[in-house]
Amino acid sequence: MNFYNTCPTGAAIAERIIISGVPCFIICRNPYPALSTALKRFHRQAEREVSHLPDILEDDEPRYIAYSKRTQSNGDDYPAKDVIFHLTGGGFFTHTIAGDLPFLIDWSAATESVVICPEYDLLPEHSFPVAINQITDVFCALSSGDTAPILGFRANKIVVTGESSGGNLASSLICKLCIEEIVDLNVLRFAKEQGQDFLYNEAEGFLFTPSLVASESLDNSKLNKLVEDNDHWKETQVVRLPDGLMLNCPVLNLCESISPSRVVNKDPILPSGFLTAISQAYLSASSASRDHPIVSPFFASDHL
């Protein structure tokens, strides 16, 4: 979709690029030279990749038109810019970026920030936890400074917003960052020095979102190799929590249990049967419980 045709006069940037393998819309009401230059550079790179498409198709190794690995800089060499990290609604089946665009441009103008909307994978092809993992990857890339070479700026304050199912994903992101203790290698190194044995999920990939989960023991040799291979991480804070969270009609409970609000405010447009179908489809390929906080943030403990 060409969003230039839907932008009000004066909205100079509404671009679609790829961050950590995820398509993202970059919206800025008052663009500045560094961002414009970075986006042009990204598209030139994309054109070069496409021009070599026959060679790529003959290669068995997957490739992406994007920066997919950590850079040697944490973004300190780039100007700082506030970011609104917006997650659209659509019941996990569709995106509503076109409808959200007018108020997102207003937000950008009012706050002098850049709006970033990840176009996460949708149902029915992609169910939980694909979308939340993609969103976590993009957020971690923003907060760590990895996106600075792509965007021409490093993220200063990051406010996460979401509506409807996007509100579910926005609050799930916070729960995931806290529950899985997504941290930098400094924490792992400190744990090693203290003789603690943390658990690490290598399937998630430490390059983007190191997750401390009960899956595989990280012994000293693995930890040493991670630190040696990523020496530039030693003094870098990789992930931090958002500076703010704003939810609009969020879907926080995917359980089918009856609650007073569901009875009193029965929605004629979104009947309970439709919501049940979405919930079942969202968890169709996962054994996760519907009351897990990353699935239904309503059940997150108070300390989160």
CATH of the domain at 28: 3.40.50.1820
Does residue 249 share a domain with residue 229?
no
pLDDT tens digits, one per residue of 227-279: 555 554 444 444 678 999 999 989 999 987 766 555 555 666 667 777 888 88
In the chain, which residue ranges form alpha helices assigned H by DSSP? Answer: 33-51, 53-57, 97-111, 130-144, 148-151, 165-179, 185-193, 220-229, 260-264, 272-282
Task: Specify the pTM.
Answer: 0.72
Question: Quick check: is 221 in a domain?
Answer: yes
Say whether both 150 and 219 belong to one domain.
Answer: no
pLDDT value of position 258: 65
- In this structure, the answer to whether residues 19 and 63 fall within a common structural domain is yes
Mark which of 215, 236, 257 sits at the end of a domain.
236
User: Quick one: 152 and 256 in the same domain?
Assistant: yes
Task: Establish if 35 belongs to a structural domain.
Answer: yes
Q: Which of 236, 265, 280 is the last residue of a domain?
A: 236
For residue 304, tell me if it sits in a domain.
no
Helix axes 185-193, 220-229, angle to 10 degrees: 140
Pair 251, 191 in one domain: no
What is the arithmetic mean of pLDDT over 54-79?
49
Say whether pLDDT at 186 is over 60. Answer: no
Provide the pLDDT for residue 44.
Answer: 76
Residue 120 lies in a domain: yes
Is 55 in the same domain as 177? yes
pLDDT of residue 205: 32
Phi, psi of 14 (to 5 degrees): -150, 80
More confident residue, 301 or 244: 244
CB distance 148 to 109 below 8 Å: no
Question: What's the number of domains the chain is made of?
Answer: 2
Within a domain: 140: yes
CA dihedral (79, 63, 135, 41) in degrees, to 10, reads: 30
Domain boundary among 221, 236, 251: 236
40 and 82 fall within a common domain: yes
Do 76 and 221 fall into the same domain? no
pLDDT: is 287 or 69 the higher one?
A: 287
Same domain, 53 and 172: yes
Domain of residue 225 covers: 183-236
Distance CA 152, CA 34 (A): 5
Q: Do 93 and 187 belong to one domain?
A: no
Residues 286, 156 within the same domain: yes
If asked whether residues 197 and 286 sit together in one domain, one would say no
